[in-house]
Structure 1
Amino acid sequence: MPTTRLTAQSVARLPPPEVGQTDYFDASFPAFGLRVTAKGVRTFILLTRINGKKARLTIGRAQTRKDGPGVSLADARRQAGEWQDQVACGRDPREEQRAAKAAAEQAQQPDPDTWDQVVERFIRQYAKPRNRSWREAERVLGKDVTPRWRGRPIREISKREVVDLVDALVEAGKPALANRVLQHIKRVMSWCVEKDILEDSPARTVKAPAKLEARDRVLTDDEIRLFWSAADRMGFPWSVPLKVLLLTGQRRSEVAEMEWSELSDLDGETPTWTIPARRAKNGVEHGVPLSPHAADLLRSVPRIQGCRYVFSTTGNSPVSGISKAKARLDGFITEMKGDPLEPWTLHDLRRTFASGAAALGVRVEVVERCLGHTSGTFRGIVSVYQRHEFGPEKRAALTAWANHINLLVQNTEADDTVVMLAEAR
C-alpha cells in the first residue's frame, strides 16, 4: 500500500496497475487514500476500525479534472475527517450512508398516498362495501375536489386549503354543494386517520360553510305542464325517465339505473317495478305499483339486446349525465315560458308527488309507503309490528296521481282528480 502526497494532479495521474487494484494513501492523512483499478477507475476511501474490526469506507468516485464529475480531493478529505470523528464517537458511518441512500430512493418513489390514490382506495375499500350512495361520493369528489388536489400527498393538504375549497364553492353560488363536498372530504380524511395515513384530519374542525334551510319547493300545476312539455322535447334517452320521476316519486338514481329484471307484468293488470334492497337507499326492497300511464311509457322504451338497463345509450351501463339533461330541460322550459322557473331540482319532483298525492286525499302513511320511507309514521315500535305493505292503496294513489298529471297536461280542470282517486280504489 504505497503512500504519497495526494494532490489534485496526482489523483488524476497516479498510474493504474496492470491487473487488480492499488490503494495509494495520503502522506498527511494515512487512513485516507485513493483506490485505482486496472481499468483506471479512481475512488476515494477511508480505512478505519469499527467495533474493533477493520473497515474500508467508500467515499466516492474521484474528480479527475476541474469542474468534472466526481468528488473533489478537498471534499473527500473533509468527508473522511467527519467519518473518523463519528467512529471516535461510537457511530458507524455506513449506517448513516445506508439511511441516506434509502431516503434518497424513497424521495424518488411516487408517494402512494396522494389525494387521488387515497380517494380511489377509500371508495373501493370503505365506501363501496358499506354505503349504497358510494357513487355519489365518487362523483362529487371526482368532479369538485380531485382536479384541484390530484397528485398532492394527502399529508401536505392543510386546513386552510380545505376552507379555501369550500369557500370557493359558496362564492360560486353553490352552498349546498359546498356542504356536501366538506362532508365527503371529512369522511375521506377520517378514514385516513383510522388507516394511520394521517395523524389528524385537517378537515376535522372545519365547520359547514352554509346554513341551509330544509327545502319545501313543490312544482305548481302550471310548472308541471311546462316540465312535461319540456320532457317531450328532450327525446331519447331522457324523455321517459324524466316523466317516470314525476309519475312515481322515486329517486333519480333509482330511476336512471332501472333494470328490465325489476319490471313485472308490464302488459298485465298489475304492472310493478321492484327496486331491490341493494339499490334502495334504505336497504329495503321497495315495490312501486306502476300506473297504466307509467307502464305505457316504459313499454315504449327501445330495448337494447343484451342490456339489462332500461335507460341506456351504451348497451352496458345506465344512462348518465343527468345534471346536463336537467340543464337542457331548464333551457326548454325557459324557451316556452319566456323566463326560467324559480330554482328547482329533480328531487323536488319527489316532494311534488308527495304534496300532490296528499292533496288528492291519499293518507300520509300511503304516501310514505309510495316513497319507500321507513321513517316518519313507520319509525319506532310501528316499524316492528306494522307489516302491511299497502299494495292496493299504493296502486290506487299512484294511478290517481298519474290521472291528475294526465288531466293537467291536457289542460283539463284538475278538480275531478279526487274522483279519480275514488275510482282507482
Structure 2
Amino acid sequence: MPKLTKKLVEGTAPIARDQFLWDEALKGFGLKVSPAGRRTYVFQYRVGGREARSRRFTIGVHGEPWTVEQARTEGRRLATMVDRGEDPLLEERRRRQDAVSLEIEAYVDAFTNRYLKIHWPSSWRDGAAVLKLHFVPGWKGYALSQVKRRDIALIMDRLADRPGAARLTFATLRRMFKWAVERGDLEHSPMVLMSGPATLKSRDRVLTDAELRAVWLAAEQMPMPFGPMYRLLILTGARREEVAAMDWQEIDLAAGVWTLPVARAKNNVAHIVPLSLPARQIIEALGPKRKGLVFSTTGKTAPSGFSKAKRRLDELALQQMKIEAANAGGDPDEVEMLQYRIHDLRRTLATGLQRLGTRFEVTEAVLNHVSGAKGGVAGIYQRHHWSDEKRAALDAWAVHVLGLMAPTPQGANVVPLRRRTL
C-alpha cells in the first residue's frame, strides 16, 4: 500500500468497478475511485475490536477543499475518535440531527412551549420576548450546541446600557441552557461560571408580571394600613406619600374619583385620579368610618414604619414566588426577586400602560407629570385634562393586574385566567 500523494490520486485511472487505494502512513485512510472517475477520501474503521463490523466514513471528494494532506489530517482526527471508543458515523449522524432538532429558532419555540409557559406562567411572554429579540436574530440557522460562553458575553455586552433587559435575558438564557442539559440535548451549559448582570439601579426598575403578582398577593396578606395601601399604589400609580396621607374628603366613591388638592400634589397642580372598580372596593372595605385620614388608626396622622412594612412585603412576595415555582415543578432556590423601591410600582404602572397601548400623553396625565407633552409652550395652550382617557387607562390596568391573579398551574395543567374579586 503506497502513501497517497496528489500525483497518485490524480494519476489513478478508473476501471469498471470501484477501486480503493489505502494509505500506508495512516491505517484506514484511503481513496475510492469510481468507474466515472470520482475520487473520494474515506476512512475505514472498527469500534469494538475485530468482531465488530467494519464501517466506512466518507471524508470528502478530492479537490477543494480536500487535498491529500487535508483529508489525511481529518483521517487522523477520526482515528483518534475510534481510539477513544467513539463511532465517527454515529457522531456525524448526531451532528446532523442536532442541526435540525437544536436549530436555535425552533429550540427557542420548543423551550417557550414546553418550559416557560408551564413553569413561568405569569412571565413567560417576557422571557420569550427577550429570546426572540436579543438571542435568535444573530443565531438563525445555527444549532444550540454551537453557542459558546463568549457569544453569551457579547449579547450581555450589547445590553449593558439596558440593565432590566440584561437581567431578564441572562436569567432566561441560563434557564434554557440548563433545561437543554437536563434533557440531554447538551452535555454542558456555556453559562456555567458566568456571573449575572449587576443588580438594577432603582431608577431603571420595572417589576415583571410575575413579581407584580407576588407583590399584590403579599399585600393581600398584610393588615391595615399597609396591605390596602400597597394595592392602591399598584392600581393608581400615585406616590407613596400621596396615598399614605389620603383624606376621606378627597374621595368621591359615587363618582369614582380621588381629587388630590394643590397643597398635596406635586407641580402645584390639582390631580384628579379616576378610581377603577377594584380601587373603589379596596377603599370601601376599610369600614364605615369616613372622616379624617383614610390610612390612619387615629384619623389624624399618616402611618409610619414604612421600612419595616416594606421588608415584610418583600418577604411575603419572595415566599409566594418560591411556592409557585415549587408547585410548577421548578427549583425554588433559583427564584430571586430583585431589589425595588415602592416608587418603582409607579414606573411599573407607566410601563404597563405603554404595553397596553395607552397614549404617552395619557400616561403622563395619569402620573400628573408636567413634562414632555405637557411642558413648555404646549402646556400653555393644551388644556385638555384627559379625564375619560385616564379612566379608561386605569380601568384597563386594573383588568391586567387582576388578570395576573389567576391560580398558578400544577405541573402542566394550565388554569385559564379568571377575574379575582377583592
- Shorter-chain-normalised TM-score: which range? 0.3 to 0.5
TM-score using structure 2 length: 0.45
Larger Rg: 1
TM-score using structure 1 length: 0.45
Structure number with greater CO (CA < 8 Å, separation at least 6) is 2
